[in-house]
Structure 1
Amino acid sequence: HRRSVYGNVNPALYFFFFESARPLRVSPQQLVDSGPVPPPPKPKSPSAEATRQQNEEILNVILPPREWTEGNQLWMQQVSSAPCTRADVINLEEELDKKIQQRQARVTGVCPIRRELYSQCFDELIRQVTINCAERGLLLLRVRDETQMTIAAYRTLYESSVAFGLRKALQAEEGKTETEKQILDLESEVRDLKKQLNEQKAKTESIEKREAEKRLLEEKKHLEAIHLLKRTNEQLKVVFSNNNILRQKSFSD
């Protein structure tokens, strides 16, 4: 997994656009001359050679070479700098469809596999464009990096929103438990208050009944006393009347 100033490059991308690997360093026992030395390549014009080297340097910056060790050899695999043709673009499209079908990427919705394959395809298009025009390739690289940064920002925002939602759900669940406990306590308090209310009502009814009976008894006694006083009054009136009659007779005699 290599990193450049332009961002990360996934090793899974390399099936599209890397050329064959070649040894970068060999062990001493493998330095024996095993055949005739091939003739040097034909010299190229300085401007074409400089352009080619510049394109290779830009390609190595955009897509850094792979390095690994096998046995005593250090191998390096660089991005191919061979110019592309129309057939290469058609093969790229066919390879993309083939990989999508092989890895069973989803056609719609969010699919990391489909995203990875299309990112690889876009990197291959950047490689092809960079070979013909380095400036256009660098501009496409900026577009790719900006798109990846935007997707990463959306992913971070989504993950933070999910975490925020989970925290709120947990807080709501905790608040629900506390609320349910408070409801049970209040219901218990209501039952106790109702019990006290019924007891007070029973006491009130008992007191009212006792006072009513007491009042009836007092009224009965009061009526009896009135009747007694009236009867006494009548008797006194009779006695007083008799006394007056006797007095009048005594005066007349």
Structure 2
Amino acid sequence: MAERVIPSPNTLVKYENPVLVTKYEIRSGDESRKPTMTADARRETEEILNTILPPREWEEEGQIWRQQVSTTPATRVDVVNLQEQLDMRLQQRQARETGICPVRRELYTQCFDEIIRQVTINCAERGLLLLRVRDEMKMTIEAFQALYCSSVAFGMRKALQAEQGRSDLYQEVEILKNQKLELEQQITDLKQRAEQADRRAAETRLAEERKHTEEITFLKKTNQQLKTQLEGIIAPKK
């Protein structure tokens, strides 16, 4: 009877039961026997699986445990259960259905790894090809993520520059408004000075005209008096 595999609660990939890592591995007393073709193929499949999905190791109570991916072929029921587990975990972890979602990406990555494990057991070459597809998709997604982060950073820089530029423009507008008020005040002062100068000039002109008129009147009067005196002097001689 096959050994029951304990499913991991943290991943959709099926793993073997964890084993305690020891310094010397104890083998059954069949070292003298030559491995069969089936054993060689199984060992090769295990090596390929360990390359694609490396074993997990952790330390617990001073002991190191290792857990390798399962080499048990998958059935149709396993595929159906995988789909149900994927849907259930997407719902449990509240993954977003659209847009960028790290949770959804993580679960779909685990699902794809499990599919690669299932395919590799039946055909190692097909599993390796799927591995290339997975790595290419991962590289493409990372490139898009880097581009997205770069564009977000660029947008933030431009937004900060625009905000700083707007703040500078507001300051410049305030400076220009103050300059406008100062110039308007200067215009008002100059107008007042001009009006005062015009009034003083008009008053001066009126004073000069009055003085000139008085002088003319005085001269006319003096001239008339002299004329009368001259006529009085000349008249008796006749």
How far apart, in 1, do the equivalents of 2:112 and 2:67 lie? 20
Partner of residue 20, structure 2: 23
Residues 142-163 of structure 1: CA deviation (Å, up to 9, x unaligned) = 1111111121122222222222
Q: Does 1:64 align with 2:61?
A: no
2:102 paired residue among 112, 122, 132? 112
Structure 2 residue identity aligned to 1:88: D
Gaps of 5+ in 1: 1-10, 32-36
Q: Does 1:204 align with 2:194?
A: yes
Partner of residue 158, structure 1: 148
Q: Does 1:143 align with 2:133?
A: yes
Residues 174-232 of structure 1: CA deviation (Å, up to 9, x unaligned) = 34444333333333333233223222221111111011011112122223333444455
Deviates more, 1:67-76 or 1:54-63: 67-76
Task: Give TM-score scaled by structure 2 length.
Answer: 0.79
CA 1:12 to 1:171, structure 2 compared with 1: closer, same or farther past 3 Å? farther
Structure 2 residue identity aligned to 1:197: I
Partner of residue 88, structure 2: 98
Number of equivalenced pairs: 228
Q: Does 1:218 align with 2:215?
A: no
Asked if the contact 2:13–2:69 (Cα under 8 Å) also holds between the matched residues in 1, the reply is no
How far apart, in 2, do the equivalents of 1:72 and 1:200 lie? 94
Equivalent positions of 1:162-201 (< 5 A) are 162-201=152-191
1:123 paired residue among 108, 113, 118? 113
Task: Give TM-score scaled by structure 1 length.
Answer: 0.75
C-alpha deviation, 1:237, in angstroms:
6.0
2:73 paired residue among 80, 83, 86? 83
2:124 paired residue among 119, 123, 134? 134
CA 1:90 to 1:43, structure 2 compared with 1: closer, same or farther past 3 Å? farther
Partner of residue 64, structure 2: 74
